[in-house]
Amino acid sequence: MDILRSLTRYSPRPVKKVYRRLFGDEQWFLAVNAAPPLADSVITGRPPAARLKVHHAPPGRFWADPFPIAVDGKVWVFFEDYSFASKKAVISCAPVSADGELGEVATALECPYHLSYPFVFEHRGQLYLIPDTWDENRVDLWRCRRFPDDWTRERTLLDGVSMSDPTLHRQDGKLWLFGTVSEARSRANDDLHIYMADALEGAWRPHPANPVVSDRRRARPAGRLFFRDGSLIRPAQDCSGGYGRAVVLNRVDELNERAYAETLIGRIDGSGLPGNRGTHTVNYARGLEFLDGRTRARRERDQSPEEGG
């Protein structure tokens, strides 16, 4: 099957269509862990004790890229909500209980174009969102007017830049924006770039060492940077052998206006979930760990549009 999968990557549309009908489409799902984080177990070498609750989208859709945030004492998760019929995604959200159950799912942000990787964050008492808008060749900042479903586009942070999975980090009085950048308008996973600013409003300037990482096994972001035992950890995607294969954890050894360096220290492949074929996001909030995974499933016949490329 691996050989057939490889062949279809470079095959005409009819071959891809037959393959999908036989084996199904990639279906991403969300998983919530209320036990000690998988990331901690891979960093320390302890056996994992995860208790993952899996949440699948309704037929004709998939859910991916979970980003949690605590608002008024309650955890909410924002995520990519993709429709096979429209061939694009909106950003949806739902409250999350302490044991990892999802509440009612609602649309938080919808645009005429595809949205994913909803990097939601608080800054100076205000909630903001930076989604992946790679297809629009820019990085936009959205401000929340009424939580959770009323957002207005505040400004464009980067224009003329095709950045995948923009990931903001605050440190040493500066803002750092990580993401893989493709200058050839092909959605590449190889080159990690950093942009810097003294304020959220900008001006944003490229890091002089860009690309700071050139390796599809650990370049593309996979969630917020976080601290463990005094070390700053950057989750990244291992896209070798296919997109979204696993999350790798990198310890940031140096981050300043002149240099960047990191060391690979661990890996989360999602193998603890039966039938799971990969994972490409990990995030945290209030003792909960949020991941995604993927499987193959056939679409219901009445949900299936004509196959694309």
- Which burial class, exposed, middle or buried, applies to 260 when counting CB atoms under 10 A from its CB (0-12, 13-18, 19+)? buried
Contact 180, 191 (CB under 8 A): yes
Higher pLDDT, 265 or 12: 265
> Is 11 among the domain residues?
no
- Is a pLDDT exceeding 50 seen at residue 6? no
> Is 295 among the domain residues?
yes
Residues 6+ apart with CB under 8 A from 268: 38, 39, 42, 246, 247, 248, 249, 279, 282, 291
Q: CA 205, CA 185: separation in Å to the nearest integer?
A: 20
pLDDT of residue 304: 35
pLDDT of residue 276: 86
pLDDT of residue 259: 98
- The identity of residue 72, as a single letter, is D
Half-sphere exposure at residue 308, Cβ-oriented, CA atoms within 13 angstroms: 6
Q: CA 262, CA 264: separation in Å to the nearest integer?
A: 7
pLDDT of residue 2: 33
Q: CA 289, CA 22: separation in Å to the nearest integer?
A: 34
Q: Which position has the token pair 């200058």?
A: 183
pLDDT of residue 11: 44
Q: Which position has the token pair 């300043």?
A: 256
> Is 190 among the domain residues?
yes
| Rounded alpha-carbon distances, angstroms, from residue 227 to 186, 234, 251, 265 | 32, 9, 9, 13
> Is 185 among the domain residues?
yes
Residues 6+ apart with CB under 8 A from 32: 52, 53, 55, 66, 77, 96, 100, 101, 102, 288, 289, 290, 291
Q: CA 13, CA 3: separation in Å to the nearest integer?
A: 17
Contact 56, 29 (CB under 8 A): yes
Contact 204, 198 (CB under 8 A): no
Q: Which position has the token pair 């890091």?
A: 207
Q: Name the phi and psi angles at 15, rounded to 5.
A: -65, -45
Q: What Rg do the C-alpha atoms of the chain give, in angstroms?
A: 19
What total number of domains does the chain contain? 1
> Is 14 among the domain residues?
no
CATH of the domain at 174: 2.115.10.20
> Is 9 among the domain residues?
no
Q: Name the phi and psi angles at 249, rounded to 5.
A: -110, 125
- Per-residue model confidence as pLDDT tens digits over 226-242: 999 999 999 999 999 88
Q: CA 16, CA 11: separation in Å to the nearest integer?
A: 7
CB atoms within 10 A of CB 305: 12
- Is a pLDDT exceeding 80 seen at residue 261? yes
- Is a pLDDT exceeding 50 seen at residue 303? no
Segments forming the whole domain that contains residue 214: 25-299
> Is 16 among the domain residues?
no
Q: Which two tokens stand for residue 266?
A: 């661990």
- Per-residue model confidence as pLDDT tens digits over 136-175: 999 999 999 999 999 999 999 999 999 999 999 999 999 9
Please report which confidence band the pLDDT of residue 112 belongs to, taking 50, 70 and 90 as the band edges. Answer: very high
Averaged pLDDT of the chain: 87
Q: Which of these, 53, 29, 27, 48, lies nearest to 37 by C-alpha position?
A: 48
Higher pLDDT, 37 or 6: 37
> Is 31 among the domain residues?
yes
- Is a pLDDT exceeding 70 seen at residue 21? no
Q: Which of these, 69, 66, 123, 39, lies nearest to 281 by C-alpha position?
A: 66
Helix, strand or coil, per DSSP, at residue 226: strand
